[in-house]
Chain A
Amino acid sequence: MTATTLDTPPAGPGGKPPAGRGAARGHRRRGRGRIRRGALPYLLLLPALLLELLIHLVPMAVGVVMSFKELTQHYIRDWGAAPWAGLDNFEVAVDFDAPVGEALLRSFLITCAFTVLAVGLSWLLGVTAAILMQDPFRGRGLLRALFLTPYALPVYTAVITWSFMLQRDNGLVNHVLHDQLGLTGQPTFWLIGDNAFVSLVVVSVWRTWPFAFLVITAALQNIPREVYEASAIDGAGIWQQIRRITLPSLRPVNQVLVLVLFLWTFNDFNVPYILFGKSAPESADIISLHIYQSSFVTWNFGAGSAMSVLLLLFLLVVTAGYLLLTSRGRKAASA
């Protein structure tokens, strides 16, 4: 009977009004159904939310707690018992006159330089390749696939291959540069000393630029052909087209792309770790490795956590600042 109440269309003006009780029940039903339907997305999201909480937020909170503790090897087994250190770990980390803080600052600056170079070059390569491949030509698909290969390879395999190629005595790079082309008087060290920084930038760019290429290629599909045709009729050359049509149209995509590349590169642990092992050469002492070294190698997890928290704060501030700036720019543009 309830089912029919729900399914029968409302009685017409001349018809008998439905029984009061039945109508009320039908209403409640509908209300509850709506709540249920409203709750469904949340229910379905629940597992993801819980996992997010467990995998991301809880460890992050634990890390923040750890940074206030004197968590050395004496306490790792029962780290609830580790004494509170207050701000000691942070003071050590930011005391730039003392050795530990000085080393952290150095590592931070190296990371900044590395990030600027790697993101800049990746973006430049990505945008150039994407624009060059905007117009169809024979073999375009093949080239696109080829360009995406570094992104498709597992990072460990790819970077370990690089580390073999960069070896001084038996590496492919020196074999070509020194043995075959004779460009260098002596075989070059690529994995130790100052050149390690160059190697790191090259490998990192090699790994990330396909992502920039992919995203920009997708974004270029959205720029209507007609705009280019119209501008060509108006006499715009290729450079003007790029400057006045392509780049402005890419602006929103670029904003997100650069942010993502920045975060990935600044935080990258895999590439330097696989390339250099547990202790990077001084010139390539990237902050993620430095923090790893400070926690795992010297067994001082409190200090390591404090450095991680500082890094987190820095990245949050940069991201927030960036989003604020770019959204203001967008608003101004749309106004």
Chain B
Amino acid sequence: MRRIRLAATAALATALGLTAACGGGSSTGSEGGNDKPDELTYWASNQGTSLEHDKEVLTPEIEKFEKKTGIDVKLEVVPWDSLLDRILAATTSGQGPDVLNIGNTWSASLQASDGLLAWDDETLDRIGGRDRFVPSALAAAGAEGQDPAAVPLYSLSYALYYNKAMFAEAGIEEPPATWDDFVEIGKRLTGDGTYGVAVEGGNPVENSHHAFVFGKQHGADFFDAEGNPTFNTPEAVAAVKQYVDFLANDRIAAVGNAEYAQNQSVKDFATGKAGMLLWQAAGSSLKAHGMKPEEYGVAPVPMQSENPPEGRNVNSMVAGINIAVFKNSDNLDGAVDFVKFMTSTEEQKILNATYGSIPPVKEAQQDEAFSTTDLTVLREVLSTTSAPLPQVPDEAQFETLVGDAMKELFADAAAGDEVTTESVRERLTEAQQQMQN
């Protein structure tokens, strides 16, 4: 008898517990507040050589914040390949972190989903004001004319990394400034199992970044003024073809590059299999593969000509990581304080110096830690010849669809199929047609 009652009670309790748990999750749509002022959850992105490395770097810094404010911060480092899915799930369920890192190219897309706290002037003033940040970095934090959806945390740009010894051996004195030079040098470096350049052909996101830069140089924007996709304009086709041609027609990249998606190209460069690499802040990864800083040089990414016209003198995206506050946070004040801490001049110096990135906070940039030769190149590119990826709601789709189309083009080339203007246009048209809204 008692046992039955016990079972019944247990069953009922389970049922109630479960419904209660679901009820707790239904805060979707409601605004956050300050109900839990003593705790914060922070999702950091993977900036170091591994998730563990990130934890080692961030934990002592976060402890400083905990000591100062008494807020208990739970840190989770989320790998890149699942970060966006996790953010989307958090936005849908309303159950997410309080503070999180986002790839700055997602800013406008996430802004449209309305899950992140908007940084109006008043909120920005709480972390020292708009003017503390480099304008181009802040421009990559949301759609134009709207309050930023995030605040820049680490800035990065693409650069051309070249192997000094291989250049010297081939009698090349200067890194290429134009793509014609680049291809010519690439051909001289190719042979005997080595190649001119290594590309990450199987990685859609990486591909799309190059599509953007080559696009800018050809005058293609991939989105029109209304934010509608224009993936298959003649300029866009020429841009994508030029990049894929490194493998397909110039043959200065190894065919095997077509399936690279796990940063094998960095390894190929570090081990001398390829003489050049287009990458952002490769320093720490190269070191991890045993390449010393004096063994490679860093130069700006080439342009179409020595003096490209205004508007086409772009050789990098404004790459970087933004830090955002989740709107549903139960500790909004604490979250803003945490962002203030992470973007403070002192923390900016420490974190960016460790990760090999450039601080988007002007004051921190002055530090001499960021005046090394390669970081000077990155800094100059960022301030003069970089452009933010289109800040439109569909940007994330551009990265996937165009990046995928390029992956397929690389695969075609690797299979021995010819890559022509026509085949590039076909792939890009297919990509555009998948955009339904």
Contacts and interface: CB of A to CB of B under 8 A. Distances in A.
A193 B113 contact: no
A279 B407 contact: yes
Contacts of A194: 415
Contacts of A43: 4, 7-8, 11
Contacts of A300: 436-437
> What 4 pairs between A and B have smallest CB-CB spacing?
A99-B433, A78-B29, A192-B411, A46-B11
A100 B404 contact: no
A298 B434 contact: yes
A78 B88 CA distance: 12
Given A192-B258, A277-B261, A296-B85, A46 B15 contact: yes
Interface in A42-66: 43-44, 46-47, 50-51, 54
A44 B411 CA distance: 56
Interface stretch (A8-16, A68-76, A108-116, A307-315): A68-76
A2 to B, nearest CB: 13
B242 to A, nearest CB: 21
B411 A298 contact: no
A324 interface: no
Contact of B112 (A47, A73, A281): A73
B113 A76 contact: yes
B44 to A, nearest CB: 22
Interface residues of B, number: 51
Interface string B250-284: 00001010110100100000000000000000000
Contact of A73 (B10, B18, B109, B400): B109
Given A73-B113, A189-B414, 4 more contacts: A54-B22, A76-B88, A78-B29, A281-B408
B401 interface: yes
Interface of A: 36, 39-40, 43-44, 46-47, 50-51, 54, 70, 72-74, 76-81, 92, 98-100, 103, 167-169, 187, 189, 191-194, 277-279, 281-282, 293, 296-301, 303
B294 interface: no
B28 to A, nearest CB: 6
Contacts of A303: 436
Given A54-B22, A73-B109, A299 B411 contact: no
Interface of B: 1, 4, 7-8, 10-11, 14-15, 18, 22, 28-29, 81, 85, 88, 91-92, 94, 109, 112-115, 202, 204, 254, 256, 258-259, 261, 264, 327, 393, 396-397, 400-401, 404, 407-408, 410-412, 414-415, 430, 433-437
Contacts of B1: 36
Contacts of A277: 81, 202, 261
B4 A168 contact: no
21 contacts: A39-B4, A43-B4, A43-B11, A47-B11, A50-B11, A50-B14, A50-B15, A73-B109, A77-B29, A77-B92, A79-B92, A99-B433, A167-B259, A168-B256, A189-B258, A278-B81, A279-B400, A279-B404, A281-B408, A297-B397, A299-B88
Given A40-B4, A100-B436, A298-B400, A192 B202 contact: yes
A33 B325 CA distance: 58
B15 A47 contact: yes
Given A72-B437, A81-B29, A298-B434, A169 B256 contact: yes
Nearest to B94: A77
Contact of A168 (B18, B112, B259, B434): B259
Identify the interface centre among B114, B261, B404, B436: most chain A CB within 10 Å of its CB.
B436
A74 B112 contact: yes
B404 to A, nearest CB: 5
B91 A299 contact: no
B411 A79 contact: no
Nearest to B273: A169
A74 B408 contact: no
